[in-house]
Structure formats: structure tokens, C-alpha cells
Amino acid sequence: MNVIGSRPDGWWRDRPGAMRRLAEQLARWAGDRQVTVVFDGKQFDLEAEGVRVEFATRRGPNAADDDIVRIVGADPDPAGLRVVTSDHDLSRRVSELGAEVVSAGSFRQMFGA
């Protein structure tokens, strides 16, 4: 959601549409990369080829963040992971586990969205 929210383009008027657009952009960008996106909010049917799409397993503050930390913590090589976020607390949590952190703005520049 940090990537979606990093550009004030009216995404808040159509959250599901913004999520679909991001998933489609990630699918085009992914290539051979393994990409997982974790969204906050109510789950709906959303698939993007080559992208693992997840929704937070609970509602409330930091719900998706907690799932991202769980994913990083469960990975056998967290140092090989790149987490995209502009949230300072999430950055700290995943960095402590060994993952690299990239800001949402920097990531948008990397994949041209």
C-alpha cells in the first residue's frame, strides 16, 4: 500500500482498481524475479501472472506489515529479499531480520510507474 500511496493520483477513490493496476505493473516488471505483494483491506479476486498476491490475514493497524515480517522471518535467506516500504517501523523490523529495504518512491522509479 506504500507504493500505491506514494503517488497522489486519486487511488483512494478506487482502492481495488489501484491494487489491480499495481499488481499488473509488477507482473510486467517481474520477469524472472519472485514478487510477492501484500495488500491491506478486504480480500477480493486479484491475480497477476508471476506475482504472488496476498491480503493481510487480519484487519487493523500494521496488519499487512505483520504478514510481511512473517514472510521475511520464514524465508531461509532473508538477506536475499528486498522489501519495498516507506514505513519506518516496518523497515526497521525487516532490516533486523536481514532483508534489504527500498523506499516506495525509489521502487516506483526502478520499475517506471
Q: Tell me the whole-structure pTM to 2 decimals.
A: 0.88
State the DSSP H helix or E strand holding residue 82, giving kind and residue range, or none if neither. strand 82-84
CA of residue 19 relative to chain centroid, distance: 10
Measured distance CA(81)–CA(70) in Å, rounded: 13
Q: How far apart are CA 112 and CA 110, in angstroms?
A: 6
Which among 73, 76, 4, 67 has a CA at the least distance from the CA of 36?
67
| Domain enclosing residue 48, as ranges | 2-111
- Taking the C-alpha atoms of residue 110 and residue 19, their distance in angstroms, rounded to an integer, is 18
User: What digits encode the pLDDT tens for the residues 13-65?
Assistant: 888 999 999 999 999 999 889 999 999 989 999 999 999 999 999 999 889 99
Tell me the pLDDT tens digit for each residue of 53-107. Answer: 999 999 998 899 999 999 999 999 999 999 999 999 999 999 999 999 999 988 8
CATH number (domain holding residue 27): 3.40.50
Give the number of domains in the chain: 1
